[in-house]
Amino acid sequence: MERHFVMTAFGYAIVGLLLGIYMAATQNHIQHVTHAHIMLLGFVVSFIYAVCYRLWLNSSGSSLSKLQLLTHQVGTLGIVIGLYLLYSGTLKESIIGPILGISSILALTGLILMKVMLIQSFKSVKS
């Protein structure tokens, strides 16, 4: 799993930096919230998950780890795309708001699953 997270982390970093460069070049910073979510949730959190898998988790093929990867990636993509559509004025908040809410819950679920797997891993080390 760490490879999946490292590769997606750096993919998000590239997209986030491209958006940042675009905002700087156009002097239009309306997407700064989207940029921040790409860099933090997409890059930083994905990279931290990769480190957690590498250091503490041996369950890279388990169904729980696959679910954790899926919930984080779908949630992050939903948030990033939703924020971009919201701040670009493409969709109104009344339309994109529920999608952002569901995506946020998915990203939170990914975080909770990571915590559960870490607790399980630490308990097995103590035993």
pLDDT tens digits, residue range 34-58?
Answer: 999 999 999 999 999 999 999 999 7
Q: Which residues contact 62 (CB under 8 A, 6 or more apart)?
A: none
**CA–CA dist 87, 32 (Å, integer):** 9
Condensed to tens digits (0 to 9), the pLDDT of residues 87-118 reads 999 999 999 999 999 999 999 999 999 999 99
Q: If we measure between CA atoms, which residue out of 71, 18, 79, 6 comes closest to residue 44?
A: 6
DSSP at 73: H
The pTM is what?
0.93
Q: If we measure between CA atoms, which residue out of 103, 114, 106, 121 comes closest to residue 2?
A: 114
